[in-house]
Amino acid sequence: MSVQVVRYLLDGRPAWGVVHGTRIAPLTAAGATTADFIRTGLDEAWASTADRAVVDLTAVTLLSPVTENQQFLCQGINYASHVRESGMDPARIGFNTIFTKAPSSLTAADADVPRPRHVRLLDYEVELGLVMRRPLQRATTVGPNDLHEWLAGVTIVNDISARDVQLPQTQFYKGKSYRGFGPTGPFLVLLSPAEWKRWPELRMRLAVNGTPRQDAYCGDMIFKPHQTLTELSGLHDVGIGDLIATGTPAGCAARAPGKFALWVMKHLLSEQAKWRLFIKKGLANPAYLQPGDLIHATIQTEDGRIDLGEQRNRVVAA
């Protein structure tokens, strides 16, 4: 049975614990970082029982279960539905798009999301986050049934994006790395080997002000977790506790213009004029996030046996 782990403030200090219903069973040997927890606290977390749950979950301040010392790796255009709404053909996506976010963008599942003063096209992206159990330090082939050997657990990630920075400047890192642009958690959910086989059944949902925006199954990924781990292992080291956000499905505020508009922009407009038009049209799109908006995101299996919790983030003016 999956285990819901939380990182929270206790007497002003970060602590780790296991959620049992509405209470937390504190862990004694979890350490300061996500890597420390995985190295020293996994066995204790799996052995946790409800009789040890002495902390009221509603009375603590939750923190991101991924600490800022860890790498924050991401996949782009990894769902066919999102590829299509971005104006591309999924059949022509022959490569895995990988980029990074600044770990300083990590924030709690209930934290406010600041919209920087110069950002006008703020977008959301619900994603399944994978947290490493073992390091990848050389080229390794990870099989589809090997995930439990390499991954400790899963979590919810919202890849908040400033589209008017990311796209006109072709700066994924810059447009996605402002502080507060990475709500993560609330839980780091540990999975058994059998449960890891159910990751395609996880259903991602995101709503803004109660209106559904995104709804898809993780099994719709183009590049699956074992393929991404294999590819990453051939690029650079990935450490214990590092986070991989696996991409988002359709439903984002950003949309590609129609084919005729794309032709006009490509052949008749300068780059500067093209992006001025993009921003002008974006400002008329009510789907972009505004201060005061409430983002609600969940990931779980239909039977509820694997439940990553829920995020509630309010957008605020920075």
Cβ burial 35-52 (10 Å sphere, 16+ → b, else e): bbbbeebbebbeebeeeb
Whether pLDDT at 277 is above 90: no
Name the nearest CA neighbour of 10 among 35, 28, 22: 28
Q: Map tokens 């970060």 to a residue.
A: 14
248/246 Cα distance (integer angstroms): 7
Distance CA 108, CA 97 (A): 26
Amino acid making up residue 25: A
Quick one: pLDDT at residue 200?
A: 98
User: Nearest to residue 88, comparing CAs of 276, 271, 222?
Assistant: 222
Mean pLDDT of the chain, nearest integer: 93
CB 264 within 8 A of CB 281: no
For the domain spanning 72-317, the CATH number is 3.90.850.10
Q: Is the peptide bond before 186 cis (omega within 30 degrees of 0)?
A: yes
Percentage of the residues of the chain whose pLDDT score is greater than 90: 83
The CA-CA-CA angle for residues 46, 47, 51, to 5°, reads: 125
pLDDT band of residue 258 (cuts 50, 70, 90) is low
Which regions of the chain carry the CATH code 3.90.850.10?
A: 72-317
pLDDT for 306: 98
Asked whether the bond before 26 is cis by omega within 30 degrees of 0, the reply is no
Question: Of 119-128, 199-208, 258-267, which gets the smallest average pLDDT?
Answer: 258-267
Ramachandran category for residue 186: left, alpha or beta (phi over 0 → left; psi -120 to 50 → alpha): alpha
Q: Give how far Cα 10 sits from Cα of 13, 52, 104, Å.
A: 5, 16, 22
Return the pLDDT at 169.
87
Is the four-CA dihedral 208, 212, 216, 217 of positive or negative sign? positive
**Mean per-residue pLDDT, 113-124:** 97
Give the Cα-Cα-Cα angle 112, 246, 304 (nearest 5 degrees): 75
- What does the block give as tokens for 172? 């994924």
pLDDT of residue 11: 85
276 pLDDT above the threshold of 80? no
pLDDT digits (tens, 9 = 90+) for 39-86: 999 999 999 999 999 999 999 999 999 999 999 999 999 999 988 887
Could you read off the pLDDT of 218-252 as tens digits, one per residue?
999 999 999 999 999 999 999 999 999 999 999 99
Q: How far apart are CA 133 and CA 241, in angstroms?
A: 6
**Euclidean distance between CA atoms 146 and 188, whole angstroms:** 19
State pTM to two decimals: 0.94
Decide if pLDDT at 2 tops 70. yes
Token reading at 306:
């694997």
Instruction: With a cut of 70, say whether residue 33 has pLDDT above it.
Output: yes
* Residue 263 clears pLDDT 80, i.e. is over it: no
Average pLDDT over residues 286-304: 98
The residue-averaged pLDDT of 90-115 equals: 95
